[in-house]
């Protein structure tokens, strides 16, 4: 039925999918953070990242961090949808963001595109770093990370190129 060795979606499509799903949420962060559909869209956005984690180069531990991010942020979204205490869901989300930052930085550092690498390192450090100072800063301080991750997805879609078969040993 499905051939595991076949690529069904290009890397460009895999990067554009979370970009398209997250862009409305980023707009809502600035205009109406309490929008009722935000958490639902956030769950689908995070699930779409599974495809990107599997496709970007990176060490196994970095990919594990990416998958962990998705799991924790989907959990946080479902907690919010089910009206679990906000502080609990927010703490889970911030824990996931540490893993997100780890994956984004690690996968960016091995990327062949300098633009992807630079934007990714800044994005990952901001997203993961906020988790450690989130009790001292307002949530609005996390918003630029949302813009940066959109730029990172776009940079992957535009600038990232698959390695040649000779570079991968195939």
Task: Indicate the pLDDT class of residue 51, thresholds 50, 70 and 90.
Answer: very high
Inter-CA distances, 85 with 20, 32, 107, Å: 29, 20, 33
Over the stretch 72-131, which tens digit does the pLDDT of each residue have? 999 999 999 999 999 999 999 999 999 999 999 999 999 999 999 999 999 999 999 999
Angle 51-54-55 from CA coordinates, rounded to 5°: 85
pTM: 0.90
Over the stretch 7-50, which tens digit does the pLDDT of each residue have? 788 899 999 999 999 999 899 888 888 888 889 999 999 999 99
Over the stretch 55-83, which tens digit does the pLDDT of each residue have? 999 999 999 999 999 999 999 999 999 99
CB 157 within 8 A of CB 12: yes
Inter-CA distances, 109 with 5, 64, 72, 86, Å: 26, 16, 23, 34
Q: Is the pLDDT of residue 164 over 90?
A: no
pLDDT, residue 163, reads 56
Task: Indicate the pLDDT class of residue 169, thresholds 50, 70 and 90.
Answer: very low
Structure tokens, 143: 């918003």
pLDDT, residue 29, reads 85
Question: 3-state DSSP call for residue 114?
Answer: helix
* Residues 6 or more apart in contact with residue 15 via CB below 8 angstroms: 52, 153, 154, 156, 157, 160
Q: Find, among 99, 92, 119, the residue nearest to 108 by Cα.
A: 119
Task: Indicate the pLDDT class of residue 168, thresholds 50, 70 and 90.
Answer: very low
Label residues 132-163 b or e (16+ Cβ within 10 Å = b).
Answer: eebeeeeeeebeebbebbbbbbbbbbeebeee
């Amino acid at each position: 039925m499905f051939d595991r060795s076949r690529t069904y979606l290009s890397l460009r499509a895999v990067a554009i999918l979370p970009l398209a799903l997250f862009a409305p949420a980023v707009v809502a962060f600035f205009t109406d953070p309490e929008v009722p559909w935000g958490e639902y869209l956030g769950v689908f956005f995070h699930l779409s990242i599974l495809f990107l984690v599997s496709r970007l180069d990176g060490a196994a531990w970095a990919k594990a961090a990416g998958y962990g991010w998705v799991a924790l942020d989907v959990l946080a979204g479902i907690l919010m949808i089910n009206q679990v205490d906000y502080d609990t869901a927010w703490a889970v989300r911030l824990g996931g963001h540490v893993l997100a930052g780890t994956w984004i930085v690690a996968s960016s550092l091995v990327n062949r595109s300098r633009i992807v690498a630079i934007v990714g390192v800044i994005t990952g450090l901001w997203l993961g770093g906020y988790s450690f100072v989130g009790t001292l800063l307002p949530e609005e301080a996390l918003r630029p990370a949302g813009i940066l991750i959109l730029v990172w997805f776009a940079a992957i879609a535009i600038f990232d190129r698959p390695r040649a078969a000779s570079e991968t040993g195939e």
